[in-house]
Amino acid sequence: MSVETPRGTPAGVRPGEVTYDHLIIPSHWRRSNESTPGAPNALFPPEGGATDASSHPPTGPINPSTGALTGPLLVGTTARAFAKLDDMIRLSAEDKAVIAARRDEAERALRAIFPPRCALPLVGVATIGSAGRDTMIRPLDEVDIFAVFSAANSAWKRFRWDSRDLVLCVRNAIGGERIQTIGSRGQALRIVYDSPPDVHLVPAFDHPRAGYVMPDRVGGWLPTRPERHMSWTADLGPRVISAVRLLKAWNRVCGSHLRSFHIEALAGQVLAGKGLNTRQGLAEVFRYMDEVGLAVPDPADVGGDLASYVRPEDHDALGETIRLARIYSTKALAAEQAGDHEEAVALWGSVFGPEFPAFG
């Protein structure tokens, strides 16, 4: 499948106007009335390549860089143990430079293949997922890149009835390795590099009223609002974002039963506005998971319950792990409060495993 040339605008439809008559757009996630095709887009920098703070994840004050970890993994306080662990797992400046390079390469290639006057013009390219929200942990092995196309020039009419055709069109044009499921229901192209990270390219249409729509696994369309996810995460503040990264490290030690964004949403729902330090926040999330469960809605109100993928056997495997994490974290907080940092660090080490710094 190749990108066709425009065939003109159908009678009765104004240039640039796009209809999505078979999509049901819930009122609570519609764009404002001022949002029109061609209006400034929060995900993408202005034309001409100029960038601003919204085009790349900030490093401060939301997530100030703490520098590379040096010296032995010995700490004298519980807080310092967590600072060192966060330094170990968070992406380095070099990792972020690689992510930016992957995004730039994708944009250059896509703009050459899908220019403004073709039948499927590119609107913009953005880094999404945990890499875009600065909640990704090492090792850096994959990056989610959002490629948004304009639905004008009859593009929507061409692909509306089977979203898989959009995925195949982009794949054939750029030579992506294969189609791969991302998130819970969406589709992406996986582009493999000689060295990590690989790229998961997510094609989507810029919906003039609803946000964005991306292909699902059966030919339909899914609404998505990555810009809402990014702003929601940034609003949580540095302590909660640090807790998110640490929870992802804990999840990896325990077998990676929980998905990345599920962890983010769960931590955000539990901790937003509470003003807890990182250790208190972790203990609160473990308590919540033990007492209340794993269910949590999509913070952008478009994805339903983010825990719907968790299988019964995963619930069983996680149940005892969560209970132990709650017990150890509660005891660790008490030990820290009593000034016994050696005991607190040892207890937290039981939660996070051998990666956790030792007292000394």
Residue 321's pLDDT is 96
Segments of the chain scoring below 50 in pLDDT: 1-38, 48-72, 184
Cis peptide preceding 197, ω within 30 of 0: yes
pLDDT at 5: 30
Cβ-contact 59, 65 below 8 angstroms: yes
Q: Which CATH number fits domain 27-59+92-224: 1.10.10, 3.10.50, 3.30.70, 3.30.460?
A: 3.30.460
Measured between alpha carbons, how far is residue 147 from residues 54, 129, 188, 235, 301 in Å? Answer: 17, 13, 10, 25, 22
Instruction: Say how far apart CA 89 and CA 87 lie, in whole Å.
Output: 6
Instruction: Return d(Cα 336, Cα 338) in angstroms, integer.
Output: 5
230-359 architecture in CATH?
Orthogonal Bundle (1.10)
pLDDT at site 325 = 98
Specify the pLDDT at position 188. Answer: 87
Amino acid at residue number 27: S
Q: What is the reported pLDDT for 151?
A: 87
What is the DSSP-derived secondary structure letter of residue 218? S
First-to-last C-alpha distance (Å) of the chain: 63
134 CB contacts (<8 Å, ≥6 apart)? 57, 58, 59, 62, 63, 90, 91, 233, 241
Q: Which residue has the tokens 């900030």?
A: 58
Domain ranges in the chain are 27-59+92-224, 230-359
Which pTM does this prediction carry? Answer: 0.79
